[in-house]
């Protein structure tokens, strides 16, 4: 359990629901569904490819950072960093793109507003990870930045005017309904447990590293300080035997 973990009673229901909106089990199927629709339109194939490639790289980097800590204890104690926040990454990588997809065929200004609202909601989800005690600020910020880069890379793909036709109305409406209902009805996500199990299998450990282990790891001591400490602990040399002087023998 995270060092930051709070009892569920101490966290406002708003933050509990909002943080669930960043679960990969909720967002990834919606991203795949919209990418599939784009893929089937020849003018949108490059858009779908760029989005899925960027999202896949962001997910791989996030998973690698978690495996590195849980399996081998690689983290940054000064930042309280044990791995990239998956919720923050997924929400920033997917929600702005879903807004762009839902508003295809609409005025450019409206689509910009939609993408901006997607990033704003992703930022709130990243903040909710702090409110529920799941991540440190460094972990949430890292996730939001990496997800945002993935979104922006795919949003930069140029589109011909004929490619801006809107998807059928039932598709964005169904996605919106899923975003509203799944945080309430979806079963608890098991992705964290899967990462823990995989990290132990890869590292051969019986137990994963936890946040408290990162804080207990010995810190590097500067060479000058170590030398001074060693000098203080070194025993003083034994005094040399004094010469014995006496009267000369007759």
> What pLDDT, in 10s, does the model give residues 149-190?
999 998 876 565 555 678 889 999 999 999 999 999 999 889
Domain ranges for the chain, please list them. Answer: 28-216
What pLDDT, on the 0 to 100 scale, is given for residue 106?
Answer: 87
DSSP string covering the chain: --TT---GGGS-HHHHHHHHTT-HHHHHHHHHHHHHHHHHSGGGHHHHHHHHHHHHHHHHHHHHHHHHHHHH---BGGGTB-S--HHHHHHHHHHHHHHHHHTTTS-HHHHHHHHHHHHHHHHHHHHHHHHTTS--HHHHHHHHHHHHHHHHHHHTS---GGGGPPPPTHHHHHHHHHHHHHHHHSPPP-HHHHHHHHHHHHH--SS---HHHHHHSPPP--HHHHHHHHHHHSPPPPPPPPPP--PPP-
Mean pLDDT, range 67-76, rounded to an integer: 94
95-109 pLDDT, tens per residue? Answer: 999 999 999 888 889
What pLDDT, on the 0 to 100 scale, is given for residue 233?
Answer: 53
Mean pLDDT, range 196-211, rounded to an integer: 92
Asked whether the predicted pLDDT for residue 5 surpasses 70, the reply is: no
If one compares 165 and 22, the residue with the highest pLDDT of the two is 22
From 26-30, 32-36, 39-43, 239-243, the region with the lowest mean pLDDT: 239-243
What pLDDT, on the 0 to 100 scale, is given for residue 163?
Answer: 54
């Amino acid at each position: 359990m995270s060092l930051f973990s709070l009892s569920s009673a101490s966290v406002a229901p708003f933050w509990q629901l909002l943080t669930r909106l960043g679960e990969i089990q909720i967002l990834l199927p919606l991203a795949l569904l919209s990418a599939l629709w784009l893929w089937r339109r020849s003018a949108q194939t490059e858009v779908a490819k760029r989005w899925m490639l960027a999202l896949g790289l962001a997910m791989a980097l996030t998973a690698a950072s978690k495996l590195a800590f849980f399996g081998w204890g690689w983290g940054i104690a000064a930042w309280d960093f044990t791995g990239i926040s998956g919720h923050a990454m997924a929400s920033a990588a997917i929600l702005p793109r879903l807004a762009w997809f839902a508003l295809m065929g609409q005025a450019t200004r409206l689509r910009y507003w939609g993408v901006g609202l997607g990033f704003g909601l992703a930022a709130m989800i990243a903040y909710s990870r702090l409110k529920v005690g799941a991540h440190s600020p460094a972990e949430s910020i890292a996730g939001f930045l990496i997800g945002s880069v993935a979104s922006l890379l795919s949003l930069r793909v140029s589109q011909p005017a004929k490619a801006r036709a809107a998807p059928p109305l039932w598709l964005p409406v169904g996605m919106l309904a899923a975003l509203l209902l799944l945080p309430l009805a979806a079963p608890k996500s098991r992705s964290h447990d899967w990462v823990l199990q995989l990290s132990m299998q890869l590292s051969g450990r019986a137990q994963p590293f936890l946040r408290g282990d990162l804080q207990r790891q010995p810190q590097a001591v500067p060479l000058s300080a170590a030398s001074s400490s060693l000098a203080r602990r070194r025993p003083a040399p034994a005094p040399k035997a004094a010469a014995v002087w006496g009267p000369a023998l007759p």
